[in-house]
Amino acid sequence: MRDLDRVINRKGTNSVKWDALNIFFGKDDLIPLWVADMDFPAPDEVTEALIERAKHPVYGYSILDDRYYHSIINWFSKKHKWNIEKDWIVYTPGVVPAINWLIQSLTEAGDKIIIQEPVYHPFKESIKLNDRIPVINELRLQDDNYLMDFESLEACIDDKVKLLILCNPHNPVGRVWTKEELENLGRICLKHNILVISDEIHGDLTYKGHNHIPYSSISEEFANNSVVCTAPTKTFNLAGLQCPNIIIPNETLRDKFNDIINKQHIQTATPFGIVGVQAAYENGENWLQEVMEYIEGNLEYMINFFKENIPEIKVIKPQGTYLAWLDFTALNIPRKELNHILIDKAKVALNDGYMFGKSGENFQRINIACPRLILEEGLKRMEKQFRM
Ligand SMILES: Cc1ncc(COP(=O)(O)O)c(C=O)c1O
């Protein structure tokens, strides 16, 4: 067993989560439970492969070879029963850059793009920055569970809607969408000629009893009408290696995307990105299982902690991702005041739910992919401020 309880000092490593607290929160002495990376060491197999590569002291331009592509193909085939072809895979240095280039290549200025808030905030930013119009179909909160609202989805579609960006699993609410939900969504999108970008960066991070379904794996019709963004970066804690892979089964869509990619002169991953992808997908499965069990333990711990100590703060239990959505509504504290208490008094760094959309008001997002000790400290600091 790996020692996931071990606290690793990340300060001074150019970590956004730990070293940029002052920039984003105006304070350094916060427990950082915000940016979506883990405080656990990456799999040993990845570290060893990177060291081995670093020992070769020439870090020149690199190409993607068969081993790189097969590591991806094998992972998705084994883990998600999804058969990807080599030609469908396009390397990009980030999922968010890829989403921007997809917006540019698959839509025109003035087109409308649907997102389902509360959702990962760069979706809306990317739509706006590219002069497209975001259309918000709010998720529906029902019995502490978020659902897609298919009626309101159909109601907000008109001729200008060309694209829908799906978050599967959904950051920040933690839903792992079921096959039935994805099929319902897909039927509506096909009926109205709306392309789907499915951001599946959290797709490997599911809890017991929940099964991630890659959107394009559902049927040939769905595959032809969609793009799936994948990466080993959240799964194996390799965000700094910048090595996502965008899967585009439809050749016409792929050509359009490649055209934009080529215009940016993005050709290949870094030598370390390549080695990281291969080592993680080839040898990371056991690590992932242990880490997810540990995180699920953190989740149970947190749910019980709030129940026993601050029942006014409700955890919307995630089915996947290592993020959890905390409902502060019952405390009835205005947003500004709530952030002030969290940051200046409790000294914890969470993500204000409002950044994920208006419906995120009264919520905060917490990242629980850390040693239990760090989570405990963060929760105890909150208890001091909010315990009635
Ligand atoms: C849904 C989602 N997409 C994309 C990203 C970021 O991807 P990248 O760092 O590859 O741009 C994140 C990171 O939190 C995320 O949650």
pLDDT at 53 over 80: yes
Task: Report the atom number in ligand 1 closest to the C-alpha of 96.
Answer: 11
pLDDT at 2 over 90: no
231 C-beta closer than 6 A to ligand 1: yes
pLDDT interval class at 58 (50, 70, 90): very high
Q: Cα–Cα distance between 281 and 274 in angstroms, integer?
A: 11
3-state secondary structure at position 219:
coil
At residue 1, the pLDDT reads 58
Tell me how far the alpha carbon of residue 310 lies from the centroid of ligand 1, in angstroms.
31
Task: Report the atom number in ligand 1 closest to the C-alpha of 233.
Answer: 10
pLDDT tens for each residue of 341-354 = 999 999 999 999 99
At residue 92, the pLDDT reads 97
CATH 3.40.640.10 domain locations along the chain: 60-282
Q: What is the pLDDT averaged over residues 174-197?
A: 98
Q: What is the pLDDT averaged over residues 239-261?
A: 97
Q: Cα–Cα distance between 168 and 140 in angstroms, integer?
A: 16
Q: Cα–Cα distance between 11 and 20 in angstroms, integer?
A: 10
pLDDT tens for each residue of 289-344 = 999 999 999 999 999 999 999 999 999 999 999 999 999 999 999 999 999 999 99
At residue 103, the pLDDT reads 98
Q: In a mutational test of the pocket of ligand 1, which residue from 91, 171, 243 has the highest number of ligand atoms less than 8 Å from its CB?
A: 171
Tell me how far the alpha carbon of residue 96 lies from the centroid of ligand 1, in angstroms.
6
Report, in angstroms and rounded to the nearest whole number, the Rg of the chain calculated over CA atoms: 21
CATH 3.90.1150.10 domain locations along the chain: 16-43+286-386
Q: What is the pLDDT averaged over residues 1-15?
A: 93
Centroid of chain to Cα 189: 22
Looking only at the bridges linking them, the beta strands covering 145-147 and 140-142 are: antiparallel
pLDDT at 184 over 80: yes
Tell me how far the alpha carbon of residue 95 lies from the centroid of ligand 1, in angstroms.
6
Burial class (CB within 10 angstroms; exposed 0-12, middle 13-18, buried 19+) of 334: exposed
CATH architecture of the region 16-43+286-386: Alpha-Beta Complex (3.90)
At residue 242, the pLDDT reads 96
Tell me how far the alpha carbon of residue 367 lies from the centroid of ligand 1, in angstroms.
14
At residue 340, the pLDDT reads 98
Centroid of chain to Cα 68: 22
Q: What percent of the chain has pLDDT over 70?
A: 100
What average pLDDT is seen over the chain? 97
CATH class of the domain defined by 60-282: alpha beta
At residue 388, the pLDDT reads 76
At residue 267, the pLDDT reads 77
pLDDT tens for each residue of 266-281 = 878 999 999 999 999 9
